[in-house]
């Protein structure tokens, strides 16, 4: 696949996703969206491997390094709030395909919409390309809608008599750099994860959280952090994004660019070994 065959797939999606053409303008001190032409949008947002500022990544280490270098660079407001850097990629098995390095501002869309919008550019969009999740039943939707008004008085009372919210991630912490770090992983064999969760009698979520707990504990220990060296029960404050859609987009025409998620705060225990982590998680 070449730039000439790959690029039009994004151009074809512009009529369905007009928000992709938005830039930000300052009007009397307030920020507003303003649409650009398809040509201007594509020129600023899309880069191919031969373009000057599209770094060619040869392996997953290069991808990590590229993201680490790029993630703290703010998107300029005079262009679309997303970028797609694409180029050919050869994996360790010698398979060739096109890889996309995608970046967008969270005000534009959440992760589900980002994945679905990229899937929209594919010829054979299907829900089977994503992790399977159960749809919210009609009865559950009805109960949620009926119960929502009853929470309004509680929210008003809570707002009137509560102080300013404290961010559990930054409370009592000073001199934070504001820099964002990242780490990626090679593709995970979901079938192996499913088989192991059944064998252990725990959910896939619990298994992944347990592995994350043990990995972070070891990471802190290697880096000499007290939380990793301590034998006491330590906890880490984390936020987990939760999808609040009633269902994943069933067909290509249903895909939307939107934000429908909630950040769920959790206290994750840090355990030294997998065997003891299951019950704690």
Taking only Cα atoms into account, the Rg of the chain, rounded to an integer number of angstroms, comes to: 22
Q: Which domains does the chain have, with CATH numbers?
A: 3-108 (3.30.559.10), 167-280 (no CATH)
Strand partners, 25: 32
- pTM for the model: 0.72
Question: Along the 281 residues of the chain, how does pLDDT read in single tens digits?
Answer: 566 666 777 778 888 899 999 999 989 889 899 999 988 988 888 887 655 444 567 777 777 777 877 888 888 888 999 988 887 777 777 777 777 788 888 888 998 998 888 888 777 788 887 777 788 999 999 998 999 888 888 878 877 776 665 665 566 666 777 777 777 776 677 788 889 889 988 888 888 888 888 988 898 889 888 888 888 778 888 888 888 999 989 888 899 999 999 888 888 888 888 887 777 77
Instruction: Render the burial of 140-172: b for 16+ CB within 10 Å, e for the rest.
Output: eeeeeeeeeeeeeeeeeeeeeeeeeeeeeeeee
Instruction: Give the DSSP letter string of 73-98.
Output: SPPPTTS-SEEEEEEEEE-TT--EEE
For CA atoms 192, 198, 201, 205, the dihedral sign is positive
Cα within 13 Å of Cα(235), Cβ side: 10
């Amino acid at each position: 696949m070449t730039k000439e065959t790959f690029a039009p797939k994004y151009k074809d999606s512009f009529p369905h996703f007009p928000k992709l053409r938005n830039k930000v303008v300052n009007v009397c001190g307030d920020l507003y969206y303003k649409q650009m032409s398809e040509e201007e949008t594509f020129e600023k947002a899309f880069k191919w491997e031969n373009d000057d500022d599209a770094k060619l990544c040869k392996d997953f280490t290069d991808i990590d390094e590229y993201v680490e270098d790029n993630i703290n660079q703010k998107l300029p407001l005079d262009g679309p709030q997303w970028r797609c850097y694409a180029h050919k990629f050869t994996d360790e098995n010698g398979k060739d395909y096109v890889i996309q390095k995608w970046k967008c501002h969270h005000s534009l869309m959440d992760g589900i919409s980002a994945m679905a919008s990229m899937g929209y550019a594919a010829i054979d969009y299907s829900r089977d390309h994503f992790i399977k999740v159960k749809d919210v039943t009609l009865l559950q939707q009805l109960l949620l809608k009926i119960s929502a008004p009853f929470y309004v008085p509680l929210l008003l009372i809570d707002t009137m008599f509560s102080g300013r919210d404290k961010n559990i991630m930054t409370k009592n912490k000073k001199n934070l750099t504001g820099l964002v770090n990242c780490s990626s992983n090679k593709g995970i064999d979901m079938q192996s994860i499913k088989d192991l969760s059944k064998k252990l009698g725990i959910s896939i979520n619990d298994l992944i959280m347990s592995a994350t707990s043990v990995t972070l504990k070891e990471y802190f220990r290697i880096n000499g952090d007290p939380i990793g060296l301590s034998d006491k029960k330590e906890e880490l404050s984390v936020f987990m994004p939760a999808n609040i859609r009633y269902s994943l987009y069933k067909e290509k025409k249903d895909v939307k660019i939107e934000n429908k998620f909630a950040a769920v705060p959790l206290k994750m225990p840090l355990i030294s070994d997998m065997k003891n982590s299951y019950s704690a998680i």
